[in-house]
Amino acid sequence: MALLEVKDLKVRVEEREILHGLTLTVNEGEVHAIMGPNGSGKSTLSHVIAGKPGYEVTDGQILFKGEDLLEMSPDERAAKGVFLAFQYPVEIPGVATMNFLRTALNAQRKARGEDEYSTPDFLKKVREVSKSLNIPQDMLKRGVNVGFSGGEKKRNEVLQMALFEPSLCILDEMDSGLDIDALRIAADGVNALRSPKRAMVVITHYQRLLNYIVPDVVHVMSKGRVVKSGAKELALELEASGYAQFEDA
């Protein structure tokens, strides 16, 4: 079943059109990779799906589980099951990670009409998940991402993904700023979350990440459109031939 349907999406930032009619369908259980050169609109797509302000959708639509995503506020989208793993997770001094995680998880549950987690249940859940991701407990006591290394910040994103159990995960340049060990840990965390009910969209500039998170479908973006789609082998072709062939297209 189609989880995410992006149809002929046109997006402007200030006066400049960034996405020129992008179409993309992601089904439940699938992992899609979106590759493309800098400036092709990859991150814009992820921001528009998550509801970041500053983007003007001039045409097209985004359906999530058949509902119009563009009509929802970012927090409503999160409660419906959309999760954006940020390329650069922000640091929030003064907000303890643990407090943030519980507030966010319970806000989502409340929005869905579910019972909020009790403190012991929540702590148990966080402990389980953080252990599996190799996240030390003292990291959870610190301010959100404050003083975290690049790898720790990405692990914190994966931790949230595991806690919130979204049905769509968008990973925006998850590999940026990570060394190979940090990348492997984060990717293992993501792979553990693959499930028949959950889809992932992995946005990356480099093929390297896709050695660790192996996609079902690869899309190439250029100049605000998907210009080619194929199986995972397409990523390897791109690695060999580069993006230049699409830039001229």
Residues that bind another protein (CB under 8 A): 50-53, 73-75, 77-79, 84, 86, 89-90, 92-95, 99-100, 103-105, 107-108, 111, 143, 160, 164
Between 33 and 50, CB nearer to another protein: 50
CB of 190 to another protein, least distance (A): 17
Between 79 and 133, CB nearer to another protein: 79
Q: Maximum distance among all alpha carbons in the chain?
A: 57
**Amino acid found at 85:** A
Between 99 and 229, CB nearer to another protein: 99
Between 33 and 144, CB nearer to another protein: 144
Beta strands in 65-139 (DSSP E): 67-68, 82-85, 92-96
Between 93 and 136, CB nearer to another protein: 93
Q: Which residues are CB-neighbours of 102 under 8 A, at least 6 positions away?
A: 117, 119, 122
Beta bridge partners of 220: 35, 228
CB of 75 to another protein, least distance (A): 5
CB of 136 to another protein, least distance (A): 21
Q: How far is CA 88 from the centre of its chain?
A: 12
Indicate the SS3 state at residue 226: strand
CB of 173 to another protein, least distance (A): 16
| Gap between the Cα atoms of 190 and 169, Å rounded | 9
CB of 95 to another protein, least distance (A): 5
Closest CA to 218 of 14, 210, 167, 29: 210
End-to-end CA distance of the chain: 32
